Homo-oligomer: A and B are copies of this chain.
Amino acid sequence: MANIYDSAYDLEKAIRESDEFKGLKQAYDKVMADESAKKMFDDFRTTQMQLQEKQMQGQEITEEEVEKAKGVVELVQQHPDISKLMEEEQRLNVVINDVSKIITKPLEELYGNPDQQQ
Contact = CB atoms under 8 A, between A and B. Distances in A.
Contacts of A2: 10, 13-14, 17
Contact of A4 (B15, B32, B56, B105): B15
B117 A32 contact: yes
A102 to B, nearest CB: 4
A3 B8 contact: no
**Main SS at interface, chain A:** helix
Contact of A110 (B6, B25, B103): B25
A96 B9 CA distance: 13
Interface in A35-51: none
B103 A15 contact: yes
Given A4-B11, A11-B8, A58-B57, A24 B99 contact: no
Contacts of A95: 4
**4 A-B pairs with the lowest CB-CB distances in the bound complex, closest first:** A58-B58, A7-B11, A7-B14, A8-B102
Interface of A: 1-18, 20-21, 24-25, 28-29, 32, 56-58, 92, 95-96, 98-99, 102-103, 105-107, 110-111, 114, 117
